[in-house]
Amino acid sequence: MDILPLGHGAAICRALPGQRLTARTENGRLTELLIEGEARPASSGHITARENPANGQPAGKAAAASVADALAAVAAAEAAFPAWAATPPTERRRLLNRTADIMDAKSGYAEESFGPVKPIIRVRDEDEAVRVANDTEYGLSAAVFSQDVRRAMRVAERIESGIVHINGPTVNDEPQMPFGGVKGSGFGRFGGGAGIAEFTSLRWVTIEDPAQHYPF
């Protein structure tokens, strides 16, 4: 392949969330702190707002998965299990190539799986590759692979992401570089001079010279 933009790398915000919290059932204080003193069923649709303790302003909202979401996840797992069980252990590494048969194409393409899944989208040309890479609400990091670095640079300029790595992985961080995304992956940058600029204001200060001569 002459050129390969990793559009899904651009599409997905690389995050490492704690998806489950394990606690003893008698730890009522922990439950109180997490859900504001009242346990609510998943079917309630309740959305809990989180506040910044420094200023009391809303910092974001979190919603538990609905019953329908949970049932859909169980159904997807049950559909995948027969394929996994019927596959010899030495061949299970090839199961990744067959996930398209048991997964909803849109969810596998546009949502984070947090698992060993990599959708492969076939495209006709460079323009379509860029279009597919940008067909997402996210834009944190992307990668472009090509033997022609100049061509890769041209493609990188068209990718809608805050970071583009050429011939390298999407996961990379250096303290002196401006790290951040665009679109649904947030705004602003941290790291290096850009990080300082995000938290400072530019000001023009002058000191008048008493001996300065004015020709008027």
Instruction: Please tell me whether residues 143 and 191 are part of one structural domain.
Output: yes
Query: If pLDDT is split at 50, 70 and 90, which confidence band does 17 have?
Result: very low
Among the listed residues 216, 213, 156, 163, the one whose alpha carbon sits nearest the alpha carbon of residue 186: 163
**161, containing H or E segment:** none
Please indicate, yes or no, if residue 103 is contained in any of the structural domains: yes
Is residue 32 within 8 Å of 39, Cβ to Cβ? no
Task: Name the most confidently modeled range: 116-125, 146-155, 166-175.
Answer: 146-155
- Note the pLDDT tens digit of each residue in 120-129: 677 778 888 8
Instruction: Please tell me whether residues 93 and 146 are part of one structural domain.
Output: no
Instruction: Please tell me whether residues 129 and 95 are part of one structural domain.
Output: no
Please indicate, yes or no, if residue 165 is contained in any of the structural domains: yes
What's the total number of domains in the chain? Answer: 2
**3-state SS, residue 144:** strand
Please indicate, yes or no, if residue 163 is contained in any of the structural domains: yes
Whether the pTM exceeds 0.75: the reply is: no
- Note the pLDDT tens digit of each residue in 63-81: 555 677 778 877 877 877 7
Instruction: Please tell me whether residues 154 and 103 are part of one structural domain.
Output: no
Domain boundary among 84, 110, 136: 110
Q: Return d(Cα 116, Cα 12) in angstroms, integer.
A: 14
- Note the pLDDT tens digit of each residue in 81-93: 777 777 777 666 5
**Share in percent of the chain as helix, strand, coil (round to 5):** 40, 10, 50
pLDDT confidence of residue 41:
52
Range of the domain at 164: 3-12+123-198
Q: Return d(Cα 131, Cα 125) in angstroms, integer.
A: 10
Please indicate, yes or no, if residue 130 is contained in any of the structural domains: yes
Give me the phi and psi of 145, to 5 degrees please: -115, 130
> At 173, which CATH number?
3.40.309.10
